[in-house]
Amino acid sequence: MVKKNFYITTPIYYVNAKPHIGHAYTTIAADVLARFHKVQGEDVFFLTGTDEHGLNIQKKAEEAKKEPQIFADENTAEFKKYWEKLGIKYDNFIRTTDEKHKAAVQKALQALYDKGAIYKGEYEGYYCVACEQFKNERDLVDGRCPDHDIVVEKVKEECYLLKMSGDVQKKLIEKIKNDEFRIAPEKYKNEALSFLESQDLRDVSISRKNVSWGVELPFDKEHTTYVWADAFLNYLTGLGWHGDPKDIPSKWPADVHLIGKDILRVHATIWPIMLMHLGIEFPKLLFVHGYLLSGGRKMSKTIGNVVSIDEMLEKFGVDGTRYLLMSAGTFGEDVDMTMERMVEKYNADLANGLGNLLSRIIKMSEKLNHELKDYIGEKYEERTSTKEFYKINLEDINLCGTLVQIWEVLVRDDDKFIEENKPWELAKSDKDKFEKVMEKLILDLNLISELVIPFMPETSEKIKKALETKKAGILFPRIK
């Protein structure tokens, strides 16, 4: 049987700084989905990487008195280091400074140019160096970028532009409406549509004249590619694409582009329109998540509410960190987290929850005559409703909801079940009932170990080991 493909991507991250918790949030989510689809027997390809060109990087490198490539190398190494620490297993890590990527970008841009989708013109507008983007005048706050609070520059320069309006815009609206190019959750689909329907798109600049740190345009060496045009193509070059629109990798189209809501607009406009001009299929789904807030506000060093990856790893371990991030709130919405609340949740759900449940069950099982694995067999298959719910929800990218359900119907219910049945008394008074009670608990534990594989791979292994050896160490040490 031919395996079903599942191709998932994260955005490629900008290497102007080291990774922060927001990067970890997106990347762990993608890793969870990749692992889930792998368990389903699909042929999974998980792509992440780094976006390394542009004026912003060039300037940061100058400030650090480093060559841009060295600067990019160093920060890219940080991303890789953290992904390893967080147990993230990607299939490819694409860098936009890879020679193969650059060659493919040039080939694709040449194809767009030959088709007349790119033309030489002039662009005048307000430019934010931090966004690397021209801003609409109406979005500015007192002449400042609303996202970066820095003064934007009025820039007029010769550049190459990509055609965005007219037919391509109409077709794009159609495809978003009929879900051929699906955007989820629904509110982001509506947001993209209302933006697209309210105005004729302006053609976008795809080149810069005075930025040396970028991919040279093949048809005009005085220009380098504007970061977005270079970056988007990673979704194809990451599969080994060489830039020929007629020769597309078999794993394309992507099943899921996972992105944060700050980059929804460009992903719902520039990227699909580039693909349309190239005659390449759209990705199937653009799934958008919200911001990670801390105490109701954006994390910022000035406010002092930044939660770092290191801090989380140190306190909660790898699986604790993965669990807390994925269960912090509905995936898609803004999610609010504070260290205080995470410590509470860690103790409640993991130390006193799952960890305690495991050690109690293993301890009580000493009084059983059989090996624990003798209890696990066909009966395990009976737990279909939980498994169905789980499958439907993860296919739907309901990450938090899935964890909530597992904890509700397995961890907490089993705790109650133990309190009600008092197996330690049954062991003395009613051996048959004791066996039955323990059987349910052991089957549930086994099921938990299966269901948490994508979220907490190490924990899953530890539970399985405990069931094999009748020995359980401490899964999650309590935090005082």
Among 39, 103, 131, 193, binds Zn ion (CB under 5 A): 131
Give whole-number Cα distances, 346 to 207, 293, 444, in Å: 48, 18, 21
Considering only CA atoms, which of 407, 295, 414 is closest in space to residue 348? 407
Site string for Zn ion, 346-385 (x = CB under 5 A): ----------------------------------------
Distance of alpha carbon 441 from alpha carbon 415, whole angstroms: 9
> Does the protein bind Zn ion through residue 227 (CB under 5 A)?
no
Question: Exposed (0-12), middle (13-18) or buried (19+): which is 278, by Cβ within 10 Å?
Answer: buried
Distance of alpha carbon 410 from alpha carbon 408, whole angstroms: 6
* End-to-end Cα distance, the chain: 52
* Residue 264 near residue 295 (C-beta atoms within 8 A): no
**What's the closest the beta carbon of residue 187 comes to Zn ion, in angstroms?**
24
Among 47, 145, 172, 270, binds Zn ion (CB under 5 A): 145
Q: Which is nearer to Zn ion, 72 or 128 (CB)?
A: 128
Stretch that binds Zn ion, among 147-155, 202-210, 334-342, 387-395 (CB under 5 A): 147-155
Considering only CA atoms, which of 476, 340, 461, 324 is closest in space to residue 400? 324
Q: Which is nearer to Zn ion, 260 or 355 (CB)?
A: 260
Question: Active site residue: 3, 177, 187, 298, which one?
Answer: 298
> Does the protein bind Zn ion through residue 266 (CB under 5 A)?
no
Q: Is 301 a catalytic residue?
A: yes
> Does the protein bind Zn ion through residue 193 (CB under 5 A)?
no
**What's the closest the beta carbon of residue 138 comes to Zn ion, in angstroms?**
15
Question: Residue 442: how many CB atoms within 10 A of its CB?
Answer: 24
| Residues 239-258, interacting with Zn ion (CB under 5 A) | none
Considering only CA atoms, which of 454, 459, 451 is closest in space to residue 316? 459
What 3-state DSSP class applies to 212? coil
> Does the protein bind Zn ion through residue 274 (CB under 5 A)?
no
Q: Which is nearer to Zn ion, 149 or 413 (CB)?
A: 149
Stretch that binds Zn ion, among 140-148, 201-209, 259-267, 371-379 (CB under 5 A): 140-148
> Does the protein bind Zn ion through residue 128 (CB under 5 A)?
yes
What 3-state DSSP class applies to 211? coil
Distance of alpha carbon 382 from alpha carbon 386, whole angstroms: 10
Q: Which is nearer to Zn ion, 153 or 222 (CB)?
A: 153
Token pair listed for 296: 């109701």
**What's the closest the beta carbon of residue 451 comes to Zn ion, in angstroms?**
41
Token pair listed for 475: 């899964």
> Does the protein bind Zn ion through residue 147 (CB under 5 A)?
yes
Q: Is 131 a catalytic residue?
A: yes
> Does the protein bind Zn ion through residue 263 (CB under 5 A)?
no
The catalytic residues are: 20, 23, 128, 131, 145, 148, 298, 301
Residues forming the site for Zn ion (CB under 5 A): 128, 130-131, 145, 147-148
